[in-house]
Amino acid sequence: MGSEEIREMEMDLEGEIEDTHQHHFHVLAVDDSLIDRKLLEKLLKTSSYKVTCVESGSKALEYLGLPANIENSSSSSSSSPTQQREEVNVNLIITDYCMPGMSGYDLLRRVKKSSWKDVPVVVMSSENVPSRINRCLEGGAEEFLLKPVQLSDMKKLHPHLLKSLNSGSNGDSNSINDTSNSNGNNDGSCNNNKNKRKAISQPLERRPKFRDLKVV
pLDDT in tens, 35-75: 999 999 999 999 999 999 999 999 999 999 998 776 554 44
pLDDT of residue 140: 97
The count of other CB atoms within 10 Å of the CB of residue 52 is: 16
pLDDT band with cut points at 50, 70 and 90 for residue 5: low
- Where along the chain do its domains lie? 16-174
Q: Residue 151: name the closest of 54, 52, 53, 39 by CA.
A: 39
- Which residues on neighbouring strands pair with residue 121, listed in sequence order? 93
Task: Kindly tell me the burial class for residue 25, based on how many C-beta atoms sit within 10 Å of its own C-beta (0-12, 13-18, 19 or more).
Answer: buried
Asked if the model's pLDDT at residue 32 lies above 80, the reply is yes
Is there a contact between 154 and 214 (Cβ–Cβ < 8 Å)?
no
Collapsing DSSP states into helix, strand and coil, what is residue 143? Answer: strand
User: Could you tell me where the beta strands, DSSP code E, fall in the chain?
Assistant: 26-30, 50-54, 92-96, 121-125, 143-146
pLDDT of residue 15: 52
Sign of CA dihedral 165, 157, 151, 98: positive
Q: What are phi and psi of 23, to 5 degrees?
A: -65, -25
Asked if the model's pLDDT at residue 215 lies above 60, the reply is no
Give the residue, 78 or 1, on which the prediction is more confident: 1
pLDDT of residue 179: 42
d(CA 210, CA 156): 21
Peptide bond preceding 148: is omega within 30 degrees of 0, i.e. cis?
yes
Tell me the pLDDT of the chain averaged across its residues. 76
Asked if the model's pLDDT at residue 82 lies above 90, the reply is no
pLDDT of residue 211: 54
Length of the chain: 216
Asked if the model's pLDDT at residue 97 lies above 80, the reply is yes
d(CA 22, CA 159): 11
**Pairing label, strands 92-96, 143-146:** unpaired
User: Does this model's pTM top 0.75?
Assistant: no
d(CA 202, CA 44): 28
d(CA 95, CA 31): 6
Give the residue, 199 or 134, on which the prediction is more confident: 134
Is there a contact between 129 and 99 (Cβ–Cβ < 8 Å)?
no
pLDDT of residue 130: 96
CATH code of the domain made up of 16-174: 3.40.50.2300
> pLDDT tens digits, residue range 108-147?
999 999 999 999 999 999 999 999 999 999 999 999 999 9
Give the residue, 165 or 183, on which the prediction is more confident: 165
pLDDT band with cut points at 50, 70 and 90 for residue 164: confident
Asked if the model's pLDDT at residue 76 lies above 50, the reply is no
Percent of the chain with pLDDT strictly greater than 90: 52
pLDDT of residue 88: 82
Asked if the model's pLDDT at residue 212 lies above 50, the reply is yes
